Chains A and B, each alone.
Chain A
């Protein structure tokens, strides 16, 4: 049991390392380097060379990667170029805002998705299921920015209920952010619910048509009891890891939602960083995002292990 968890932890670290390598390599390929980006038009060959020596950019890539990784492990992501502040400080408050958005959506979305998914699964191919499934398909397939723009058109422009774009600064207290959060949360929740409920539905259908549930029904156990005690616990187990994957993936979609609403989260910061060629910042954000991914997935794995006795002894090939 503990061994399995340690093993998962180890895999997560490997995942993080691979992501770090890929991000580092990708940033290497960006045209120009930190020095050219920093000096901009004032760049002369001499000044470039000086700055590169100062920043250690003249060292081979492997050495720089090792040093960057070492610093990052100690919580030092370097200095932002365009903003002249430590990357950690910049990321901190933005990460809080993004997590606030993501967690609120998850808190509303997951119970909603489970409920709707179970209803759809139990009423397979009948009216409630068709309604829920169709709505889910539409919510799931529309790009985030289309859903978001649609919500803005309806709730900000026609009904004038919520602001269309965030105007408060990034480090505003949470209470001031709240009105700005409504539409982004609704957008994210819609998409999240759609994804998760589809999986829950399939899972519920799988279990309800399985032999042991039919057996239980034929033994005369009441429908309620069959569903609550026999079917659902098994149906919801596989949903956990898929939910985690979906949430992790949706964090990517956060970038777009944040841009649409001009919400001061990690996504908008990332776009700014890419536009201003602020490499240390890009790397820092990438690693922070990857970290959240890995933690969410690890959490789901451990939760599944805890809830599913069968997996505890199973050889994880």
Chain B
């Protein structure tokens, strides 16, 4: 039986939109997603430009300007050291954003790679690694973060590697599950039957399919990591004073909540809008890619 179809019967090429633009089209339809994306872009623009536009020195202490309520000059008031809260809020997300973004890239990269390989290869290694992964996932993450950060100090590098490592563990699980889902499908069997090399199957057949899930994973992990990072700051294990950082600012404001609530409120709004923005965007991306975010506990 001839398998080759006559050339004349070739269907006219359909102009296909690229996957990316297709996803974008879907995303545009989600109002909450666009809202989230707008908030996110706004935050990133502020983080990038804030050193140029802030009106005051973020660390300048002044005894005479302590705990001033918001005014024309100090839009968000001043804190217990007389520092301008507006300036510090604008600058306060820079380190958090930079560290968590880097760490998330790290987490998704190593977690995704290991997860795909485990799912594809299976066998004893897979079983052994997953035992450890499950055990680590069942552990109180904040405890590990605290232990490690207090052991190695809270330099940016330590924070990036610690967060990047711990948040990758959950990604391993997700990527493995997604891979297992595809490994048994016909197109992989077909690739095997064609005699494709394993490397090719992983890179050309599995990776593009798992990529969607990893993208959603990225957004989710990022927002959880922001929570963890600001929590560490809040507990005094993250950014060290007097560097402006939202978590730290909220922690410092606790003593002054009675008479200077603005020192807490504005960093809370900043941090709150950022995480909500990321989550709205993540939800929309997930929906646009046809994945529902049936996610477990953030780890």
Contacts and interface: CB of A to CB of B under 8 A. Distances in A.
Interface of A: 11, 14-15, 18-19, 22-23, 26-27, 29-31, 137-138, 140-146, 149-150, 152-153, 157, 164, 195, 199, 202-203, 242, 245-246, 248-253, 255-256, 259-260, 270-271, 274, 282, 285-286, 289-290, 293-294, 297
A15 B138 contact: yes
Residue among A15, A18, A143, A255 with most chain B CB within 10 A: A143
A240 to B, nearest CB: 13
B147 interface: yes
A251 to B, nearest CB: 6
A272 B292 CA distance: 41
A290 B140 CA distance: 7
B187 interface: no
Interface residues of B, number: 50
29 contacts: A15-B138, A19-B139, A26-B147, A29-B152, A137-B276, A137-B279, A137-B283, A138-B276, A140-B279, A141-B275, A141-B278, A149-B264, A150-B268, A157-B261, A195-B297, A242-B297, A246-B297, A248-B297, A249-B298, A249-B299, A251-B140, A252-B141, A255-B143, A255-B235, A256-B142, A256-B235, A282-B147, A286-B143, A294-B138
Contacts of A19: 135, 138-139
A289 B138 CA distance: 11
Interface string B87-104: 000000000000000000
A260 B279 CA distance: 25
Contacts of B48: none
Contacts of B272: 141-142, 146
A23 B148 CA distance: 10
Nearest to B152: A29
A274 B275 CA distance: 29
B294 A145 contact: no
Given A19-B138, A146-B268, A259 B235 contact: yes
B140 A153 contact: no
Interface string B127-153: 000011011101111111011101110
Nearest to A203: B294
B135 A14 contact: yes
Contact of A164 (B257, B293, B298): B257
A71 B279 CA distance: 45
Contact of B147 (A142, A199, A256, A274): A274
B265 interface: yes
Contacts of B151: 26, 29-31
Nearest to A149: B264
A255 B297 contact: no
A104 to B, nearest CB: 20
Contacts of B139: 19, 22, 290, 293
B234 interface: yes
A30 B150 CA distance: 7
Contacts of A199: 294, 296
B233 to A, nearest CB: 10
A11 B138 CA distance: 11
A274 B231 contact: no
A85 B151 CA distance: 24
Contact of B148 (A26, A140, A248): A26
B254 interface: yes
Contacts of A250: 297
B67 interface: no
A202 B261 contact: no
Nearest to A199: B294
B140 A274 contact: no
B271 interface: yes
The 5 A-B residue pairs whose C-beta atoms are closest, nearest first, are A18-B135, A249-B297, A26-B147, A252-B142, A15-B135
Contacts of B268: 146, 149-150
Contacts of A27: 147
Contacts of A26: 144, 147-148, 151
B210 to A, nearest CB: 21
Residue among A26, A199, A248 with most chain B CB within 10 A: A26
Contact of A143 (B230, B254, B280, B296): B230
B132 to A, nearest CB: 6
Nearest to A285: B143
A145 B297 contact: no
B143 to A, nearest CB: 5
B175 interface: no
Nearest to B280: A137
Nearest to A26: B147
B146 A274 contact: yes
A142 B143 contact: no
A101 to B, nearest CB: 15
Residue among B138, B141, B144, B272 with most chain A CB within 10 A: B138
A15 B261 contact: no
Contacts of A144: 231
Contact of A22 (B136, B150, B231, B234): B136
A143 B134 contact: no
Contacts of A137: 276, 279-280, 283
